[in-house]
Amino acid sequence: MTEEIPATNLSIQSLVKEAGELDLSLAAQPMPEPKDHEVLVRVQATPINPSDLFLLLAGADISAAKTGSRDGLPVIHAPIPQAAMRAMGGRVGQAMPVGNEGSGVVVKAGGSPEAQALLGKTVAMLGGAMYAQYRCLPAQMCMAMPDGTDPRDAASCFVNPLTALGFVETAKAEGHGAIIHTAAASNLGQMLNRICIADGIPLVNIVRKPEQVELLKAQGAKHVLDSSAADYMDGLIAAIADTGATLAFDAIGGGKQGGQILGAMEAVAAKAMKEYNRYGSDTFKQLYIYGALDLSPTVFNRTFGFKWSISGWLLPNFLAAAGAETAQRMRARVAAELTTTFASHYSHEISLEQVLDLPTIAAYDAKRTGEKYLIRP
Amino acid sequence: MTEEIPATNLSIQSLVKEAGELDLSLAAQPMPEPKDHEVLVRVQATPINPSDLFLLLAGADISAAKTGSRDGLPVIHAPIPQAAMRAMGGRVGQAMPVGNEGSGVVVKAGGSPEAQALLGKTVAMLGGAMYAQYRCLPAQMCMAMPDGTDPRDAASCFVNPLTALGFVETAKAEGHGAIIHTAAASNLGQMLNRICIADGIPLVNIVRKPEQVELLKAQGAKHVLDSSAADYMDGLIAAIADTGATLAFDAIGGGKQGGQILGAMEAVAAKAMKEYNRYGSDTFKQLYIYGALDLSPTVFNRTFGFKWSISGWLLPNFLAAAGAETAQRMRARVAAELTTTFASHYSHEISLEQVLDLPTIAAYDAKRTGEKYLIRP
């Protein structure tokens, strides 16, 4: 297996300029040479996850974007609102590569035995800078796939699978017997549904459209609620009463939904109280916000007593706190169940150039459930 | 010491009716007879704390209240908005006594030695139903005061002092070296300021008016910020940089201030980072909401990464979790420093009847910092 490797490597670069402008480009850089412990991977598939979008687009106003070119390669310029600029801090003036995870074939390897062992293999990768033709990285950041693995199946081995497993681990560690999940028809939500069915953990799925109810029910989900339905709150309260859920993971972030979930938990807890207590129930209720499908402010009425917490949840923070043994156990399960429990589905496949196409950006930035973009460099 | 005890006891009763109406009255009930372990206390002073107001007024619209009378005693009827009714659950149809804490003189005692030991003493009491002429309660719920204690000094021995000490205990238990406090010119805020000065804990006081800055500075506070000032956020960021505060206690609850505090903590943490991280800093930031001076929804932009938590904080929950030894240590400190660290100030003294006076209700329900009402039954 010797394939010809070009002298330059094309990759997506996201640059935030001091003046409040996004400069998003396809750029040519010298092909990296793998060091002793490294491998060079020809990237074959890399997903656009919601967690990639903020780094890629930097909160810029794409509707006001202009296209251009530099060194014969496409560039996009778009204004960044002042509020978004405040969060940019350390990245201003620095071109950032993008893409959390991906898959590809190892075309060159350093001298170490671990690196050499991967030569010619299809691997799943985690570690950023995946929106590129080639990615050079340490062998230990690759997970070798069985021969014949479709690169599409190996593209999303880390972010969604480990997040879904992380929710279940968090529930166990913090003593919650059931889970509520929003945006539950997503690839991540479908994985979580399969894990919870397999592990016997009651799950309340909240989706945003009637057709998504059918999708999850067809996959064996017991509790699926459509937040656009008139009887949503009644259904949510009934599902919480049935499952005893006191923990929720929210992908949406903005708006009132998170607070409504805590309110529904409190309504169930209050019903079980023998005596009125103006300070609410004794039941501890936890909402974790792990995504930002809605970028608007989080808004909640504090109608759920005083025993509650709303917190951020992030996979790297969870893994750091959980420790190496738990992380290893989770990865082993992903590898074993990659095409079953942890299967991903993509609605669109696009090229690296198309990542910079304005109508395409508008489409993938909409983050519609059921629409998932896979880049095939 | 034998004083004549009337046959009936007047007390404030707050009744929420099914139809969405508050019935707030002064009612006569038979004078209770102390059991073996109990004492009967003639109530001399009892404060209106923000934590009493929700039980007292039940979120009713006092601007639409009507006055009346029943059995020759005053009654107020006021409509309760539907949203507030949802939180009433278990109290509908049940007349509730009001008043968390107070002080008075023991006029009758049960046969037990503990009860007899209190006869004739001035005591501080915790346990509800203090808005009354007399209160019958277990001797162990009383704290005997030195002879000659002014009942005004003993009226607020529990709620504010233990809350202020509870904040400091929480900071220590959760590993935070400094504290931010909102509505910091309150009686509670002034106590916290004195505790933090005595114990050497950096404190950032946030107030809502320029004159409150002077008040706290005159009491030795180093960091006092006026949230109405144009340079408030800059000042807050500078104070956090100086103190390293990653913990805040918020009395306000509604609006944007809590989120702004977390944002300021993150701004300080981000400056110390060597590399840009789109997910924010590694610094854990905690906001506790313990009050509701602003009943409007809590609103926050999630511009502070993923390592944060916003939680409810309530004194009884804290004491239950902290354990008996800590609670005893806290009470002993309050008793020892009652007229110094834990001194309270009252702007108005009113009678039980005046608790039902509509203009007076409007005034104490406004919860203005610097205005504190003491009932003298």
Burial class (CB in 10 A: 0-12, 13-18, 19+), B33: exposed
Q: What is the DSSP letter of A368?
A: -
pLDDT band at B22 (very low <50, low <70, confident <90, very high): very high
pLDDT band at B269 (very low <50, low <70, confident <90, very high): very high
Cross-chain CB nearest to A298 (options B91, B253, B300): B300
Residue B307 to residue A316, Cβ atoms within 8 A: no
Please list every residue in chain A whose beta carbon sits closer than 8 Å to the beta carbon of residue B174.
none
- The per-residue pLDDT for range A269-281, each reduced to its tens digit, is 988 888 778 788 9
Q: What is residue A110's predicted lDDT score, i.e. its pLDDT?
A: 96
Please list every residue in chain B whose beta carbon sits closer than 8 Å to the beta carbon of residue A277.
90
Q: What is the DSSP letter of B304?
A: S
Ordered strands of the B8-17 beta sheet: B66-70, B73-79, B21-30, B8-17, B96-97
Q: What is the mean pLDDT of residues B232-240?
A: 97
pLDDT band at B19 (very low <50, low <70, confident <90, very high): very high
In three-state secondary structure terms, B294 is strand
Please provide the DSSP assignment of B180-204 as one string: EEESTTSHHHHHHHHHHHHHT--EE
Is pLDDT above 80 for B248?
yes
Give the number of other Cβ atoms within 10 Å of residue A33's Cβ: 11
Q: Which of B306, B314, B317 to mutate to test the interface with A (most CBs of A within 10 A)?
A: B306
Which positions ≥6 away from A134 have C-beta within 8 Å? A5, A9, A31, A32, A40, A41, A42, A43, A107
Q: What is residue B198's predicted lDDT score, i.e. its pLDDT?
A: 96
Q: Distance between CA A318 and CA A295 in Å, rounded?
A: 23
Interface of B with A in 287-316 (CB under 8 A): 289-290, 292, 297-303, 305-314, 316
Q: What is the 3-state secondary structure (H, E, C) of A43-88?
A: EEEEECCHHHHHHHHCCCCHHHCEEEEECCEEEEEEECCHHHHCCC
Lowest mean per-residue pLDDT among A194-198, B214-218, B327-331: B327-331
The candidate with the shortest Cα–Cα distance to A348, out of A329, A366, A326, is A366
Ordered strands of the A66-70 beta sheet: A66-70, A73-79, A21-30, A8-17, A96-97
Q: Which of A233, A278, A311, A317 to mutate to test the interface with B (most CBs of B within 10 A)?
A: A278
Residue in chain A nearest B255 by alpha carbon: A299
Please list every residue in chain B whose beta carbon sits closer than 8 Å to the beta carbon of residue A276.
89-91, 94, 96
Residue B94 to residue A270, Cβ atoms within 8 A: no
Is pLDDT above 80 for B135?
yes
Cross-chain CB nearest to A311 (options B90, B278, B308): B308
Q: What is the mean pLDDT of residues B270-275?
A: 84
Cα-based angle A146, A152, A328 (whole degrees, multiple of 5): 55
Is pLDDT above 90 for B39?
yes
Please list every residue in chain B whose beta carbon sits closer than 8 Å to the beta carbon of residue A307.
312, 314, 317
Give the number of other Cβ atoms within 10 Å of residue B69's Cβ: 10
Q: Distance between CA A320 and CA B358 in Å, rounded?
A: 57
Q: Distance between CA B357 and CA B346 in Å, rounded?
A: 19
Residue B312 to residue A316, Cβ atoms within 8 A: no
Is pLDDT above 80 for B52?
yes
CA distance B26 to chain A (A): 21
Residue A314 to residue B307, Cβ atoms within 8 A: yes
Residue in chain A nearest B285 by alpha carbon: A311
The candidate with the shortest Cα–Cα distance to B227, out of B246, B242, B248, is B248
Lowest mean per-residue pLDDT among A17-26, A50-59, B21-30, B36-45: A50-59
Residue A297 to residue B300, Cβ atoms within 8 A: yes
The candidate with the shortest Cα–Cα distance to A279, out of B255, B248, B95, B292, is B292
- The per-residue pLDDT for range B54-68, each reduced to its tens digit, is 899 998 999 999 999
Length of chain A: 377
Characterize A159-168 residue by residue with b for buried, 16 or more Cβ atoms within 10 angstroms of its Cβ, and e for exposed: bbbbbbbbbb
Q: What is residue B2's predicted lDDT score, i.e. its pLDDT?
A: 64
Is pLDDT above 60 for B1?
no
CA distance B118 to chain A (A): 30
Q: Distance between CA B262 and CA B283 in Å, rounded?
A: 11
Is pLDDT above 90 for B279?
no
Please list every residue in chain A whose beta carbon sits closer than 8 Å to the beta carbon of residue B292.
302
Residue B278 to residue A317, Cβ atoms within 8 A: no
- Which pTM was predicted? 0.89
Burial class (CB in 10 A: 0-12, 13-18, 19+), A41: buried
Q: Could you tell me how far CA B37 lies from the centroid of its own chain?
A: 28
Is pLDDT above 60 for B286?
yes
Residue in chain A nearest B54 by alpha carbon: A278
Q: What is residue A2's predicted lDDT score, i.e. its pLDDT?
A: 64
**Cβ–Cβ pairs < 8 A, chains A and B:** 103
Please list every residue in chain B whose beta carbon sits closer than 8 Å to the beta carbon of residue A305.
312
Phi then psi for A78, rounded to 5 degrees?
-145, 140
The CA distances from residue B25 to A214, B17, B113, B214, in Å, are: 54, 13, 36, 40
In this prediction, what percent of chain B has a pLDDT beyond 90? 82
Contact A375, A131 (CB under 8 A): yes
Q: What is residue A90's predicted lDDT score, i.e. its pLDDT?
A: 77
The candidate with the shortest Cα–Cα distance to B296, out of A301, A305, A260, is A301
The strand pair at B8-17 and A253-255 is best described as unpaired
Which positions ≥6 away from B165 have C-beta within 8 Å? B195, B330, B333, B334
Contact A94/B at CB under 8 A: yes
Contact B317/A at CB under 8 A: yes
Q: What is residue A86's predicted lDDT score, i.e. its pLDDT?
A: 72
Q: Could you tell me how far CA B210 lies from the centroid of its own chain?
A: 23
Residue B309 to residue A314, Cβ atoms within 8 A: no
User: Which residues in chain A belong to E strands, given as ranges?
Assistant: 8-17, 21-30, 38-47, 66-70, 73-79, 96-97, 101-109, 122-126, 134-138, 142-144, 179-182, 203-207, 223-226, 247-250, 253-255, 285-289, 294-300, 308-312, 348-350, 373-375
Please list every residue in chain B whose beta carbon sits closer than 8 Å to the beta carbon of residue A272.
none
Q: Distance between CA B55 and CA B13 in Å, rounded?
A: 10
Please list every residue in chain B whose beta carbon sits closer than 8 Å to the beta carbon of residue A54.
278
Q: Could you tell me how far CA B320 lies from the centroid of its own chain?
A: 17
Contact B54/A at CB under 8 A: yes
Q: What is the mean pLDDT of residues B30-48?
A: 97
Cα-based angle A111, A114, A117 (whole degrees, multiple of 5): 90
The candidate with the shortest Cα–Cα distance to A102, out of A73, A74, A132, A72, is A132
Give the number of other Cβ atoms within 10 Å of residue A230's Cβ: 8
Domains of chain A: 8-157+346-375 (3.90.180.10), 161-319 (3.40.50.720)
Q: Which of A52, A92, A276 to mutate to test the interface with B (most CBs of B within 10 A)?
A: A276
User: Which amino acid is residue A350, in one-letter code?
Assistant: I
Residue B270 to residue A54, Cβ atoms within 8 A: no
Q: Which of B82, B310, B315 to mutate to test the interface with A (most CBs of A within 10 A)?
A: B310
Please provide the DSSP assignment of A264-314 as one string: HHHHHHHHT-SS--TT--S--EEEEE---SEEEEEEE---S-S-EEEEE--
From first CA to last CA, the distance across chain A in angstroms is 20
Which positions ≥6 away from A63 have C-beta within 8 Å? A362
Please list every residue in chain A whose beta carbon sits closer than 8 Å to the beta carbon of residue B163.
none
Please list every residue in chain A whose beta carbon sits closer than 8 Å to the beta carbon of residue B80.
none
Please list every residue in chain A whose beta carbon sits closer than 8 Å to the beta carbon of residue B311.
308-311
Q: What is residue A66's predicted lDDT score, i.e. its pLDDT?
A: 96
Q: Which of B14, B22, B301, B309 to mutate to test the interface with A (most CBs of A within 10 A)?
A: B301
Q: Distance between CA A219 and CA A366 in Å, rounded?
A: 25
Contact A98, A12 (CB under 8 A): yes
Length of chain B: 377
Q: What is residue A85's predicted lDDT score, i.e. its pLDDT?
A: 82
Cross-chain CB nearest to B275 (options A90, A278, A297): A90
Residue in chain B nearest A316 by alpha carbon: B279
In three-state secondary structure terms, B20 is coil
Residue in chain A nearest B273 by alpha carbon: A90
Instruction: Tell me which residues of chain A have a pLDDT lower than 50.
Output: none
CA distance B149 to chain A (A): 32
CA distance A333 to chain B (A): 26
Contact B210, B177 (CB under 8 A): no
Lowest mean per-residue pLDDT among A197-201, A368-372, B47-51, B305-309: A368-372
Q: Distance between CA A217 and CA A190 in Å, rounded?
A: 11
Cross-chain CB nearest to A317 (options B55, B276, B306): B306
